[in-house]
Amino acid sequence: MDTTDFHARHEGLLDPALLGKKRVLIVGCGSVGSYLALFLARSGVGTLALRDHDHISVTNLCRTTYTERDVGRPKVDALKEQLRGVRGDLEVDARPVDLRDVDDDEVRTWIDESDLLVAVTDHPPTQARLAALSYHHVPAVFAGVYERGTGGEVIWTAPEETPCYSCVLGAIRDADAPSRGQSDYGIATGQLASEPALGIDILHVTVCAAKIALALLLRGSDAPAAQVLDPSRSVLFVGNSTGWIWREPFETVWARATRRERCVCRLLPGGSTADLITEP
């Protein structure tokens, strides 16, 4: 395939040569992760590393990139096939693993091999763990959708430049944000229930996360897509309805957060995540 033709309609907006050298680790290949991976592939990212232990069910089809013929397959395998269908030159490292079965050293190796982490697991303990392991090493994007798809949040972090994910979550809790949903399987797993939500509402949050991910990958270049981030405002609230802080549907609101004294980014710089400590 002629890569010049592939990027013809990106002319002047991206830096394909730079993106082609980038590797992105995506943990979670569900509603948000599958679409976000496709956006990055179509933008020219060179390598995508996919991690998810789940298999595709019929209930996934209404709001993911997967199709009926994918039912029963590991999500990472089906997504790899889709991505390679978009760009045959794309490198895809797909591993059907449960991060609860992987030790910190291995996860840290995946992170150190990457230029960006995207964490979209719908599993708060895993999100916090990935945040702790990545904060001092690579930029990261964390996206979540609120119950019933009323809105969501996209948090981005950069080592020592922004507050970490846990700092921001503490501020969001203080602000009485909408719920991310209820626990599905109890305290033992912490997995969030699969909340009813329209795919288009989830996609609105995903598009914002993808744009932020691209901006982080392009930082330091002259590409217009790189010029959207302000380190003093590292959380974006994405509205699909009125209520809470949104005056109108489809409104987005950038917010500021500060680093907390008792937080993983201060207490565990690159250490074990066995005893994560965050300010209540």
Residues 75, 157, 38, 57, Cα dihedral to 10°: 20
Classify residue 272: in a domain, yes or no. Answer: no
What pLDDT score was predicted for residue 176?
64
Going 110 to 28 to 234 to 15, the CA torsion angle's sign is: positive
What pLDDT score was predicted for residue 194?
63
| Pair of tokens at residue 16 | 């394909």
| Alpha carbons 175 and 124: distance in angstroms, whole number | 18
What pLDDT score was predicted for residue 118?
98
Classify residue 277: in a domain, yes or no. Answer: no
Classify residue 66: in a domain, yes or no. Answer: yes
Classify residue 274: in a domain, yes or no. Answer: no
Identify each DSSP E strand in the chain by its residue range: 23-27, 47-51, 91-95, 116-119, 140-145, 151-157, 235-239, 252-255
Classify residue 8: in a domain, yes or no. Answer: no
CATH of the domain at 31: 3.40.50.720
- Residue 68 carries which DSSP code? G
Q: Which domain holds residue 28?
A: 16-267
What pLDDT score was predicted for residue 181?
59
| Alpha carbons 200 and 271: distance in angstroms, whole number | 39
What pLDDT score was predicted for residue 183?
43
| Alpha carbons 188 and 170: distance in angstroms, whole number | 22
- In order along its 280 residues, the chain shows pLDDT tens digits of 666 689 999 999 999 999 999 999 999 999 999 999 999 999 999 999 999 999 999 999 999 999 999 999 999 999 999 999 999 999 999 999 999 999 999 999 999 999 999 999 999 899 999 999 999 999 999 999 998 999 999 999 999 899 999 888 877 766 666 766 554 433 444 455 567 899 999 999 999 999 999 999 999 999 999 999 999 999 999 999 988 888 998 999 999 888 877 776 765 554 455 444 433 3
Classify residue 133: in a domain, yes or no. Answer: yes
Helices (H), 135-174: 165-174
What pLDDT score was predicted for residue 193?
53
Classify residue 11: in a domain, yes or no. Answer: no
The domain tally of the chain equals 1
Classify residue 80: in a domain, yes or no. Answer: yes
